[in-house]
Structure 1
Amino acid sequence: MTSRGLFSFIKDSPAYKNSEKNWHVELASYTVFWFDLLINSPQGIDFQKVAADYLRIYRDAVKKDNDKRFVYFIVARQKVRFSARKTPRYSLTKRELIIYFEIGKKRKIRKIRFPAVPSMIGPRLPIIVDDGRFISIWGSDQCQPVRVSVHDFLMEGNINLGIDTEVLYVGSTDDPASRPLKRDHRGYSDSLYGTPTDEKDIFVYYNLLKTTSVTKTSPYLLSFAVSNSVIDEVQKMEEGMLLEHGLIHYFGTKSQEPGEKQS
């Protein structure tokens, strides 16, 4: 049973209805996909199918819970790859594992040091594969390596290379498995227009945002801080569109400037 509108009676109560209110918006959860893996999947893996199947499960879980629209960002950031020119090595004196990254079109080398903990080291050094898109890591108790993409490695390790992310497009959808994952709508093509893919990597972030209605003043001396989804004061579609257009204005996405037709 969905929780959306479960306490809808609150929005009609005079104590709430006659109060001045603000919306507070925060990120509840997100998931991200690297478009390069969708277009050029690793051998033997249909990454787009894997991503779409995951998003269908995610969508159905959200629908059963609070039935929100997904607000998605198509974003770009400077290209990063593991370096195949300078392979990982150990620093025995400092007991560190050193991994090299290549940044941007000019493939500028960046060295990152990690504590040489057993879970990272395993029985052998990591191996860079697939033109630096992936690294193969043997854990201390593994006979087969685990392959991790460069961006998953950076995000899961909370590694900050000091690279900014540019939001190219903001949209909302009820079906994240098709939009913009299949790359068949205008937002995807608009985002890539003028974005050099030899210099940038492109991602899609699917975000679930929590909107909380907070009363400021009330003649009843009562205060409320209640999630919009449980009172359904602003319904699902309108809530998603409000968030979408607010974020378009906030990020100033070039393809969605005034006068441009949005999709």
Structure 2
Amino acid sequence: MPGEETTELSLTPHSTAPQFWTATVAESKFYWYDLLAGGGPLPDFRDPVGRYLRRMQFALDGTMEKRLLYFLIARPRVRIDTHRNVSWGFFSLKLTIPILLGAAERKSTLTIDLDVPFEATLKKPTVQLQDKFLLLNWGALTETLSIHDLIQRYQPEPTFPSTVLYVGQTHDPAGKLAKGLSPLVNRLRESVMDENDTFLLIQRMDVKVETTARDMSEEASVRTQTDLIEGALIRYFEGPAPRARKEVELGTRRERLEELQKTYLLERLTVDLGFKDADAFHELTSEHVPIARRHLFECVFDHGTPELKTLSAAGRPLVELKN
């Protein structure tokens, strides 16, 4: 994803005119964080699951040098039941997979319609079950899908909510988040892991600016934009007193947001997390907001404190993500 770090001058000129920002989603991707948490060695690349995990970590590593937003998400625990067998539909590639739901491991099934990959040399794959992965051997290639890949791809209707636990930025040259070594994220994960699987939802935002200012020096950097959007989203999903954050952090952020708001004369920030063809995993909720596939709100900053107002979606078309 784009979103490179941009360092501002130490003395940024003040904007000469009020600014109104609208932030919309440009790219959005879920990663199953549990698969990397703890930072242990990954399986060999020659192993199908090893290839899957290494590609996932490589993709996450690519976000660590950028200013992107991430949401730590909890969804109810799901596993493949390796003690039961799959079943095929008659004369079709409809595959029914046995699954276990929640901490109580309630038995259920997931039915999917497979598509034959272009490289396949078999008309029907051989199937291998692991508790977290489905491996489909098509002869010339092996397709590796996690249980949550299957749910996200083949269940268009929401089965479980995606609960936001924390909002942050990916920028981390040490790459701890990509390696599953972020202490804070791991603590939050451990607090819910008995009943939930945890994910990183990483998003890049587009920001449109309305202003009469014309000087290029008055344009905010990606870092500034992300800091302000992050502050608004923390208030929206984590509430007025986020439990996962210390008072020192909250105070420092208030001062930073107040300085940025005054520098750029930011009158209003509108945040829209909805987009066309968002799947059921994007049904986001938290302790402070009801479940919705589109979260749309307006934010003004009062001495660095975000003040929010939920907006109606009427007359606001959804954006289409860039491929």
TM-score, normalised on structure 1? Answer: 0.68
Show the counterpart of 1:8.
none
Show the counterpart of 2:100.
102
> Partners in 1 of 2:71 and 2:135 — Cα distance?
29
SS for the counterpart of 2:191 is coil
> Is residue 53 of structure 1 aligned with residue 64 of structure 2?
no
> Partners in 2 of 1:29 and 1:176 — Cα distance?
21
One-letter amino acid of the counterpart of residue 145, structure 1: T
Q: Which runs of 5+ in 2 are unaligned?
A: 7-12, 45-49, 254-323
> Partners in 1 of 2:74 and 2:248 — Cα distance?
20
> Partners in 1 of 2:247 and 2:5 — Cα distance?
35
> Partners in 2 of 1:184 and 1:115 — Cα distance?
36
Tell which has more relative contact order, 1 or 2 (C-alpha 8 A, sep 6+): 1
Identity in percent: 19
Show the counterpart of 1:150.
147
> Partners in 2 of 1:24 and 1:98 — Cα distance?
44
Aligned residues: 229
Show the counterpart of 1:86.
84
1:53 Cα deviation (Å)?
A: 3.4
Note the 1:89-238 alignment, pairs <5 A.
89-92=87-90, 96-115=94-113, 118=116, 122-129=123-130, 132-139=131-138, 142-157=139-154, 159-160=156-157, 162-175=159-172, 178-192=175-189, 194-195=191-192, 197-214=193-210, 233-238=219-224
One-letter amino acid of the counterpart of residue 248, structure 1: I
1:257 Cα deviation (Å)?
A: 6.2
> Partners in 1 of 2:114 and 2:55 — Cα distance?
33
SS for the counterpart of 1:255 is coil
Contact 1:71 1:207 in 2 (8 A): yes
Show the counterpart of 2:243.
255
TM-score, normalised on structure 2? Answer: 0.57
> Partners in 2 of 1:91 and 1:52 — Cα distance?
35
> Partners in 1 of 2:4 and 2:217 — Cα distance?
9
Higher helix share: 1
C-alpha root-mean-square deviation of aligned residues, in Å?
3.9
> Partners in 2 of 1:255 and 1:169 — Cα distance?
10
